[in-house]
Amino acid sequence: MRIGILTGGGDCPGLNAVIRGATRAAEVTYDSTVIGFRNAWRGVMDNDYEILDVDRCRGILPLGGTILGTSRDQPFAQEDGLKRVRKAYDRHGLDAIIGIGGEGSMGVVNRLHEHGFPVIGVPKTIDNDISLTEMTFGFQTAVQICTDAIDRLHTTAESHHRVLVVEVMGRHVGHIAVWSGLAGGAAIILTPEEAFDIDEVCERIVHRHKKGRFATIVVVAEGAVPKEGTMEIPAPEVDKYGHQILGGIGSILAREIQGRTGIESRMTALGHIQRGGSPVAFDRVLGTRFGVAAVEAAIDGAWGQMVALQQGRIERVPVAEAISHLKMVEPELLRLNSMFQPRIPGDEHPGLPGDAPVEPRRDTLASMVTDHHIPDVPVEH
């Protein structure tokens, strides 16, 4: 069998583990050949490729990024894209192509399947937002990077008695924010799943500091949004692929917190450091398992399927179903998050039913803060 493989979309720790796992399974176990296309579907259409074998994949397991390169180019964005993909299948005698990527890349795999191409999907994203798989490789590495950063920020926040806002990736879901925030002991975690009230955020911070805590870590997902009418944020720009360009909520949030509470606040955006570097052990193993499973799906002719982690096992699921909706943060984790945030009068205990009696809310933020005129907050260097 001759199998093509490519990596699409943003890079992610663990991609090379998938390539290595697929190549070894194909060559050693199934006597097959793997053709690696460079820079995703651009390589398929431009005939930019290399033959992959066990020797080529030696030493790549701990490497971040992808040895094949990546791009967001795809055949449906070009007039003759499908014709060029068909030509690649014919030129190389391909029996299948394994597409490794996130939500957008899985959409391409699904559309190619609908057009009759033999394709298999492998879910990849640090955001962990693809449905029907419990975890995507790269996510645990990103969480560990963010947790390490939060651990370091605790000490500087405590030294300067500051509020430190940490902006993390995740696009329209808050998996990275919740996991790293809980692991790093953040006081407040803000996610896209639940719009936040800036007045409530500030009140929780003030109550916390009144109790003698002089430093607060706030973790905010890049896609978090305020409740309508509570705080103005600019509409995100859109890139040439139609994706919203997220980021910047951390700076706005730090400025608002300082202006409303009088507590010195700074912002740190972790940015692309979350996507770089060596993958943690979990992502290396999951990537390897996905690579092997993708080859076996191709051997079985399971076209239009995506490999997925379910209850600790690698299963196959229809790509069409996996991309039908984003996987949001589980309500149980959001509830856990609320249990660890600073309490304020009037809070409903997260472990009590909705009709349980609660203490009336007496204090207001305005009565607790004297200085509302604080200059703009500089970005942390």
Tokens representing residue 20 in the block: 């290595």
Output the DSSP codes for 132-193. T-S--BTHHHHHHHHHHHHHHHHHHHHHHT-EEEEEE--TT--HHHHHHHHHHT-SEEE-TT
109 forms bridges with which residues in the sheet? none
Is residue 204 a contact partner of residue 188, using CB atoms and an 8 Å limit? yes
Element holding 307 (H helix, E strand): strand 305-310
Report the relative pairing of strands 96-101 and 163-168 from DSSP bridges: unpaired
Tokens representing residue 61 in the block: 């397991």
3-state secondary structure of 109: helix
- Calpha distance 301→294 (Å, rounded): 10
**3-state DSSP helix/strand/coil percent for the chain, to nearest 5?**
40, 20, 45
- Calpha distance 3→362 (Å, rounded): 66
Report the relative pairing of strands 313-318 and 305-310 from DSSP bridges: antiparallel
User: Exposed, middle or buried by CB within 10 Å (0-12, 13-18, 19+), for 301?
Assistant: exposed
Element holding 316 (H helix, E strand): strand 313-318
Question: Catalytic residue positions?
Answer: 127
Q: How many other CB atoms are there within 10 angstroms of residue 237's CB atom? A: 9
Torsion-angle region of residue 11: left (phi > 0), alpha (psi -120 to 50) or beta? Answer: beta
Tokens representing residue 112 in the block: 């190619």
3-state secondary structure of 356: coil
Is residue 176 a contact partner of residue 234, using CB atoms and an 8 Å limit? no
Which residues touch 379 (CB under 8 Å, ≥6 apart)?
251, 267
3-state secondary structure of 130: strand
